[in-house]
Structure 1
C-alpha cells in the first residue's frame, strides 16, 4: 500500500538570474543553493570555492592547547598513553588519527576499542582497570567519554591523567529551570558542544576533533601543523560515515578529503577500495556512506573493530588484502542479518498493535544488537516516525534509535533517565540500555511525552525545483557536480515534473528490485527512467494503471548505453 506523502515546493526567494550570471551557473543551480540557505556572497563563495584555509583555528577549541600540552609532556617523558576509542566509523578513524599522530612523535601509545557486546559503548570501569593493569599513565578518549563520569572518576582515583575528546551532546540536569552541564572529571575536555567553547562550528565529528588536537600537538612540538594534513582523508571519511551535516567546515573538509582519498597512499584503504571493486579516482561521498563505510562498521558489529583499525594501520599489502576481504565478507553477512531483522520488526508492528504509536519501540530479543540501529533506520524510513529497536544483551536490554526532524531523541531519553541504565547520542540517533521489565514503561512514557502531530508523521517531500524534463541537458547535469558532496545538510537536489505518460514498463535488476520505463512529456520527447521507490511489483502494477498522467520526483544523471551518453531519470517518488 502506497503511503500518503506531502509534496511541497521550496519557495525561498532571490534573484536567481543575477546569481547565475555572477557565478557562472544556471539559475536552477542558484535556486538549489538558496534552498540550502546559501545566501550571502561570502556563503556562496565558500560553498562553491571553499578552501581549507577558511576553516576555523583549532586553537578555538576549549582545552585543546591544554590537552596538547599534556600529551607533549607525556610523549617526552615516555609515559604510556592508552587511547580508548569506539567501534563505529568515527571511533575507528579518530582512534587511528590519534594513534598514528602520537606515534609519529615517538609516543608510547596503544589503542583499546570496546567490544560492542562485552563492553558496550564508550569507556567503562573494566576498560579503566585494564589500562591500569597495562601500566598506562594517561587515558585519552576519542568519539566518547563525555558521558562516562563514573568510569573516568575511577581513573582519576587511581592517579591516571585523563583527556577527553568527544563531539556528543553534553549530559545535563535541570536546576531551577536551567540546564547545568554534567562533565566528567578530566584534566582536559575537548568537545565543541561545551557551552563555553569558542569553536564556531559545533557539528564536527569525533575524528575532526581528534585531527584538530593532533594539529595543535604538531604545532606545539615543532613538527608543524601542516604535517597533520595526512589525516584529512580520515577525518572526511568519518564525517560522512557518522552522518554529520555537510555544511560550512564539514563541506570544505569532505571536498578536500575526497580529493585526497582518490589518490590515497594508505595501503589499507586502497585494498578496501579494490576489494569492493571500486576504482581510485571515482570515490564519492556515496561510496563512503554506502559501500566502504559499512565495511569498517561491520568489523565492529559482527567481529572486532580492531580489524578495521589494523587495516588503516597496516603497511603490508598482503595483510591489507586479507583484512579488506574479511571486512567485505562481514558486511555481506551483516546485510543478510539486517534484512531478516527488518522482516521481524515489521511483523511486530503489525501483530503487537504498535502501528498507532507515534514513537515505535520494537523489542526483538533475538536480533544481533549490533544491527539494531540499522533496522531502526530502515523502519523509520518506512513508517516516518522515531524508532527504537531493542534486543537482549548481556545485562538486560540494549537498543538503538533513529529519529525524524522535530524529535530530539537525546532530549526525550533524558526524560526517561530513571528507566535507563545508560544512554547517549544525538537528536537524530541515540542508544540506551535498560532492564527488560522497563521496556513497556519506556514505550509508554516516550509516547505519553511525545508532542509530534499526525502532520509531523506524514512523510514530506521537499521539491527544490519543479523542472520539466525538457529543460534537462547534459551540460546542466554535469554542472550539478558543483553542489557535491551530497549528504545530510546538503541533500541531493529534488526535482519534479507532471503530466507524463509511461511506456515500456518492466522490472529489472539482479534481484528484480527496480522498474525501468520510458517517460514521454508534452512535447512527445521520451526519456529513459528507472524507479527505486518501494516494492517493484507493486510499483509496476500502479504504473500500469496510471500510464497517462504521472507526476514524479526525480534526479537526472548521464548514463552510457553501448558507448552513447544519454540522459536518464532516477525516480524517487511518484503519484
Structure 2
C-alpha cells in the first residue's frame, strides 16, 4: 500500500478546538480534518439530534406524494410498494410496507426477479399491479430513469410515486411525484440520502401531515441505518443523525427480523461496520441467489418465531452464496493468468456459467488481488451482463460512457456499475475499456492507498482518548474510523497466525521507548508477515482502534491495516 499522511489542518483551528472543547491536539486535529471548526459544529457532530433533520417538504414533489398516499388510504385504494432486490431496496420496501399497514392502508409488495426482470422498475411489476386492480405504486431506490415504464403505467391507469437517490437523466419520469434530492430543481439541503432514507422522508412528511408525534416512527430507523451502512453512502449531515438513532433502535429494540440475524453473532453492541460485514451480506444473499422476497418477509415478520425460521432459510442461501463466490473468484483469477492479463491496467473476465447474483462480489474480490478497474461478465439470456467495480479516484461510470458504442445499457456511479452487452461485442468492448483505462488512470491510483489521520504514541491511547474517539461513531464514508501510525513497535512474543489458512496475524504489541503500554492486535490477511514479526524486529504499523467484544468481555484491540519494517 501507499502510505499517505494527511496534511495537518489549520493550526489556529486546531488550537481553537482544543481551547473551547478541552481536548488534546490529536482529537482537535481529527475534528478539523472533518471540517469542524467551532464549538457548535463539534456539538452537532458529537451529539446528533433529531431536531437537525430537515423539513421533508423541502424536497420537490413531497406535498404531491403525501396527498396521493393519503387519498389512496382514505378511498381504500390498494398500494403496491416496489423496490429493488439489494439491501437498500428491500429495507425500503419493508419500511414503507410496515408504515402503510400501520396507517391501515391496503398494501402489497413487489421485488423484481434479478434474473428475469433485472434492475429497477419492470413491466412485469406494473402488469402485476394492473392485474390486481392496484392504482398506485410507490417505487423505492429506483425509477428515476424509468420514463417509458411510467408512461406505460399511466396508459393503464396506474399512478407512480418515485423515491430514488440516483442521478437523474436529462428528463425525469412523468409520475405523480418524483422524490429525489439529486434532481436539479430540488432544493432539499442534503443530497446524499440512500433510497431508504428518501422513503423515510416521505413517511416523515405523511406523519407530519397527520399531526402524529415523531416518536411513533422512530422505530423504523433500524431499517434506515441498515440501508445507510449497506449502500455505502456518506455518514455525514442527515445520514449521521439517521444512522445514530437507527443504531440505537438496533441495539435496544430491533424488529424481529434483524434480531434473528443479530442472534447469529455473539456481540454486545452492533456498529455500522457490523451491519456492513455481518448483517448486510445475509440480507443481500436472498436477492442474489433466490429472491428478494425472502428479505422483505424477514424484515416484516412480526414474531420472533417466524423471523427465526426465515433466517434459517437465509443462512442456507448465504452459505450457497459464499461457495459460489469462492469458486468463481478462483476461476476468474486463473483466467487472468491464463489470458496473460496480469500486467493490464484493467480486468475484464467472462464465463457463461458464472452466477449472475455474485459477480459483483467477485469483482471486488479480484480487486483485492489485482488492484485496478474490474468487470466480471456472465450470460444473461441472449446477452451478457456484468458488474463493474473501481479503485479509488477512478470513475468507472465515465469510463463506461466512453465505451457506450459497445453497450446495450449501463448504470451506476463512480465506483460501481452494471452493464449489458451483446455477446459478439465482448472482445471489442474489452479492448476499448482497457484503452480508456490506460489513457485516463494515474499510475499511482493502481496502488492501493491508505490514509493516515495522525501519528500516535501508544502512551496517547488513554481511557479519555478512547472515550472521545468512540463518540466519533458511527463511522463510514465521509467519517471513516481514524487510522493512526505508530513507529518502532514490536511483538512481545505472542504472535501467531490465525484463520483457516493462517491468513491472519494476531500479536501483542509494545512500542520501543514507551513503557507501560501494550495492546493486542489483529492484522487481517497479514499472516504472511508472521516470520518477520516473531523475530521481534521493529516495524511501523497503521491501525484503527476498536473494541473487541468476546464472551461478554470488552478489550481494546488495534486492527492493523498495514505494516512495514522500521528503518
Q: Under a length normalisation based on structure 1, what TM-score does the superposition of the two structures give?
A: 0.91
Q: Tell whether the 8 Å contact from 1:533 to 1:573 is kept in structure 2 after alignment.
A: no
Q: Following TM superposition, by how much is the alpha carbon of 1:317 offset from its aligned partner in structure 2, in angstroms?
A: 2.6
Alpha-carbon distance between aligned partners in 1 of 2:34 and 2:371, rounded to the nearest angstrom: 22
Structure 1 CA distance, aligned partners of 2:55 and 2:552? 48
Alignment of 1:252-401 (within 5 A): 252-274=241-263, 276-279=264-267, 282-401=269-388
Deviation of 1:524 (Å): 6.5
Give the aligned partner of residue 5 of structure 1.
2
**Relative to structure 1, is the Cα distance of residues 401 and 563 closer, same or farther in structure 2, using a 3 angstrom cutoff?**
closer
Rounded to whole Å, the distance in 1 between the matches of 2:154 and 2:175 is: 8
Q: Secondary structure at the match of 1:111?
A: strand
| 1:514 matched to 2:504 | yes
Matches within 5 A, 1:157-556: 157-171=155-169, 181-223=170-212, 226-274=215-263, 276-279=264-267, 282-450=269-437, 451-504=440-493, 505-509=495-499, 511-523=501-513, 525=515, 527-534=518-525, 536=527, 538-543=528-533, 547-556=536-545
Name the CA distance, whole Å, in 2 between partners of 1:563 and 1:245: 31
1:114-173 deviation per Cα after TM superposition (whole angstroms, max 9, x unaligned): 1112211111222222221122212221001112222222112222212211111212xx
SS of corresponding position for 2:270: coil
What is the deviation of 1:325? 1.9
Q: CA separation in 2, counterparts of 1:510 and 1:320?
A: 31
Deviations 1:99-127 (A, max 9, x none): 12222222222110011122111112222
Q: Look up the match of 1:176.
A: none
Contact 1:58 1:216 in 2 (8 A): yes
The question of whether the paired residues in 2 share the 8 Å contact of 1:402 and 1:428 is answered with yes
Q: Distance in 2 between matches of 1:567 and 1:427?
A: 35
Count of aligned residue pairs for this structure pair: 559
Partner secondary structure for residue 340 of structure 2 = coil
1:561 to 1:213, Cα distance in 2 relative to 1, 3 A: closer
Match of 2:49 among 43, 48, 51: 51
Task: Quote the residue 1:114 is aligned against.
Answer: 112
Counterparts of 1:230 and 1:560, CA distance in 2: 26
**Which consecutive residues of structure 2, in runs of 5 or more, have no partner in the other structure?**
none
Would you say the 8 A contact 1:166–1:209 is kept in 2? yes
Q: 1:543 to 1:364 in 2, by over 3 A?
A: farther
Q: Note if 1:19 corresponds to 2:10.
A: no
Give distance in 2, aligned partners of 1:168 and 1:324: 30
Alpha-carbon offset, residue 225 of structure 1:
5.0
**Using a 3 Å threshold, how does the CA distance of structure 1 residues 54 and 84 change in structure 2: closer, same or farther?**
same
Counterparts of 1:314 and 1:534 in 2: how far apart (Å)? 38
Q: Which residue in the other structure is 1:178 paired with?
A: none
Deviation at 1:255, TM superposition (A): 0.8
Q: CA deviation at 1:57?
A: 0.9
Cα offset for 1:436?
1.7
Please give the alpha-carbon distance, in whole angstroms, between the structure 2 residues aligned to 1:560 and 1:204.
31
Q: SS state of the match for residue 312, structure 1?
A: helix
In the superposition, relative to structure 1, how do residues 574 and 223 fare at CA in structure 2: closer, same or farther (>3 Å)? same
Q: Aligned-pair distance for 1:455?
A: 1.6
Of 110-119 and 369-378, the range deviating more from structure 2? 369-378
What SS does structure 2 have at the residue aligned with 1:456? helix
Q: Aligned partners of 1:569 and 1:423: how far apart in 2?
A: 41
1:262 is paired with a residue whose SS is: helix
Q: Deviations over 1:297-344 (max 9, x none)?
A: 111111111111111212233211101222223223222222222222
User: Contact (CA 8 Å) 2:17, 2:37: kept in 1 or not?
Assistant: no
Q: Is the 8 A contact 2:397 2:413 kept in 1?
A: yes
> Which segment drifts farther, 335-344 or 58-67?
335-344
Distance 1:261 1:124, change over 3 A: same
Counterpart position of 1:129: 127
Moved more, 483-492 or 471-480: 471-480
Q: Which moved more, 1:403-412 or 1:295-304?
A: 403-412
| CA-CA distance at 1:386 after TM superposition | 2.0
Offset at residue 542 of structure 1 (A):
4.5
> Comparing 322-331 with 552-561, which one deviates more in the overlay?
552-561
Match of 2:99 in 1: 101
Listed as ranges, the gaps of 5+ residues in structure 1 are: 172-180
Structure-2 change in CA distance of 1:249 and 1:351 (3 Å): same
Greater CA drift, 351-360 or 140-149: 351-360
Distance 1:219 1:501, change over 3 A: closer
Contact 2:522 2:557 in 1 (8 A): no
Q: Secondary structure at the match of 2:434?
A: helix
1:404, 1:228 → 2: CA distance?
A: 38
Instruction: Please give the root-mean-square deviation of Cα atoms over the aligned residues, in Å.
Output: 2.4
- Whether the 8 Å contact between 1:527 and 1:569 is mirrored in structure 2 is no
Give the distance between the partners of 2:187 and 2:560, measured in 1 at CA. 44
**Residue deviations 1:7-57 (CA, integer Å, cap 9, x gap):** 334322334344134224332222122222233444322211121111111
Distance 1:100 1:416 in 2: 42
Q: 1:569–1:269: structure 2 CA closer, same or farther, 3 Å change rule?
A: closer
Q: Is the 2:509–2:521 contact (alpha carbons within 8 Å) kept by the matching residues of 1?
A: no
